[in-house]
Structure 1
Amino acid sequence: MKRLTNIFLMIKIGLLSDTHSHFDPRFIDLFADCDEIWHAGDIGDIKVLDKLQQLKETRAVYGNIDDAIIRRSIKENERFMIEGVDVWITHIGGYPGKYDRRVKAELFNNPPDLFIAGHSHILKVIYDEKLQCLHINPGAAGISGFHAVRTAVRFNLDNGKVKDLEIIELENKRFGGK
C-alpha cells in the first residue's frame, strides 16, 4: 500500500502592496474567493492591515514608510512553505537582474520558488531563469505615489506551482481615479 506524503490542495491568494494607508472597499469583493491575502509592505496605517485580517488570513511584511506600530506587528521578511511552494515576501527586494543588495546574497544562496517584493509601484511578473524563481511585484494598490494605474494580483498555488495568475487594475489614476 502506497503512503501519500505530500498532498497539496489548491489555494487562492490575493496579493497587494503599497496601499499607503488606503483601504479600497473593492478589496472585499476582489479577495472574497481568496484563501489568504498577502501584502508586500508600505501598508501605511495599521487599520488597513486590521481590515485585511478581518477579510481573510493575511500575511504581511512592513515597508519603508511603515511606522513602529506596524513594525511591531509584522516582520520585514516572511519566508514560508505553502502548498509545496517556497515563498519569500519582502518590501524592498528589486527584481531579476537588479535585486536589492539586502536580499541578493540570500536569493542566490537559497532561492525560493516565488519571490515577492513591492516598493517600486510598478507591477512586474518575471521568471528568473538563473534562479528558477518567479518574481512578482503587485504594483501599488494605494492612491499615493507616482503610479498611474492601481494594481493587485490574484493567483492559485496548486501542487507546488503558481497558476492562473490574474492582474487586477483597480483604476487609472489619470482618468477619473482618486
Structure 2
Amino acid sequence: MKKIGLMSDTHGYIDPKIYDYFKDVDEIWHAGDVGDISVVDDLEGFKPVRGVYGNIDDHVIRAAWPKVNTFECEGAKVVITHIAGKPYRYVKDAKEVIDIEQPTVFVCGHSHILLVQYDKNINALWLNPGACGYKGFHKVKTILRFEIEQGKVQNMEAIELGPKSI
C-alpha cells in the first residue's frame, strides 16, 4: 500500500499546511502549473515527487518534468497530465494518451476545480485536486490524499487548506 498526496496549480506557492497534511504520505504527485522550480526543489526535499509541467511553467520546469507522466503504482496504471478537459469530454491530446495508455487512474489539473469521478467510458478514476496556490479564480485551496493498494484507490480525502489568500 502507498499513501499519495495529490496537488496541482501551486503557481509558485506551497501552503505550509501541505507539509502537515502530506507528512505521512509515501509520494506526492503534482499535476502541473508549478510556477517556480523552487516548488519542485522544496517538495523533492520533503518526499518523493512525480509531476508534470503545466501551461504556465517555464523551460526550467519543463526540463525537470514531462508533459505526461505514466507509471505503475501498487498495481494501478497512472497517467498524469495538466490539461485534460473533464470526464467524458477530453481535449484531444489527453484522449490520445488515455487511448494508448489505458490508465486505471487518470490525474489532471488546470481547471482549479476539485473533482473525483469514475469515468466508465475510459474505465478509470479521474482525479483533479483543484488548486492549492493563491493565483486563479478558485476561492479555496484544495488537495487530495488517498491510498493505493492492489490497484485500487481507497480512503480518498478531499482537503481544504483555506481561502486562496496568503
Give the TM-score category using the shorter length: over 0.9
Distance 1:135 1:54 in 2: 28
- Pick one of 25, 50, 58 that aligns with 2:41: 50
Q: Secondary structure at the match of 1:47?
A: helix
List per-residue Cα deviations over 1:40-89 (Å, max 9, x = no partner): 00000000111111110000100000001111111111000110000000
- Pick one of 24, 41, 52 that aligns with 2:32: 41
Residues 1:73 and 2:57 aligned together: no
**Which TM-score applies when normalising by structure 1?**
0.90
- Pick one of 98, 105, 115 that aligns with 1:114: 105
Distance 2:11 2:97 in 1: 28
Residues 1:127 and 2:115 aligned together: no
Q: Secondary structure at the match of 2:159?
A: strand
Distance 2:15 2:137 in 1: 18
List per-residue Cα deviations over 1:130-150 (Å, max 9, x = no partner): 221000000000000000111
**Which TM-score applies when normalising by structure 2?**
0.96
Q: Secondary structure at the match of 2:63?
A: helix
List per-residue Cα deviations over 1:11-60 (Å, max 9, x = no partner): 10000000000011112111100000000000000001111111100001
Residues 1:27 and 2:18 aligned together: yes
Residue 85 of structure 1 is matched in structure 2 by 76
Q: Greater shift after overlay, 81-90 or 94-103? A: 94-103
Q: Secondary structure at the match of 1:66?
A: coil
For structure 2, list consecutive stretches of 5 or more residues without a partner in the other structure.
none
Larger radius of gyration: 1
| CA shift for structure 1 position 172 | 2.6
Residue 4 of structure 1 is matched in structure 2 by none
For structure 1, list consecutive stretches of 5 or more residues without a partner in the other structure.
1-9
- Percent identity, aligned pairs only, is 50
Distance 1:97 1:30 in 2: 31
Q: Greater shift after overlay, 73-82 or 107-116? A: 107-116
Task: Give aligned pairs, total.
Answer: 166
Aligned-partner residue type, residue 56 of structure 2: I
